[in-house]
Amino acid sequence: MNHRYIIDRVEGNYAIVEKENGNMCKISVESIRGEFKEGDILINIDDEYFEVNKEFTLNQKNKIDEITKNMWEEWFISINIIDKKYEY
């Protein structure tokens, strides 16, 4: 099975990534095939190279969007900035 790494940020020639176990490590950007950005999920394609897995990345983005969907509305209601009856 390929391991997954979430790109946290890029510092110089390294992508700082979070491993599945929560540990952070760095990967040389030269070992990443194709374009990538923060939040993308990498998989190792062999002992030397990584690539973005678009399916895993999209699934993770959708999970985060679902979790945070109503977060701001609930916060604004809790501090009475918007009326609870206001419809979007």
pTM of the predicted structure, to 2 decimals: 0.76
**Domain range for 31:** 4-78
Does any domain span residue 86?
no
- In three-state secondary structure terms, 20 is coil
Count other Cβ atoms within 10 Å, centred on residue 40.
22
Does any domain span residue 12?
yes
Domain count for the chain: 1
The CATH number for 38's domain is 2.40.50
Supply the pLDDT for residue 82. 56
Does any domain span residue 43?
yes
DSSP state, residue 45? S
DSSP state, residue 53? -
Supply the pLDDT for residue 85. 57
Per-residue pLDDT of the chain (88 residues; tens, 9 = 90+): 579 999 999 999 999 999 999 999 999 999 999 999 999 999 999 889 999 999 999 999 999 888 887 777 777 777 766 555 555 5
How many angstroms separate the CA atoms of 58 and 40, rounded?
A: 9
How many angstroms separate the CA atoms of 27 and 85, rounded?
A: 49
Does any domain span residue 87?
no
Does any domain span residue 23?
yes
Supply the pLDDT for residue 86. 53
* End-to-end CA gap in the chain: 44
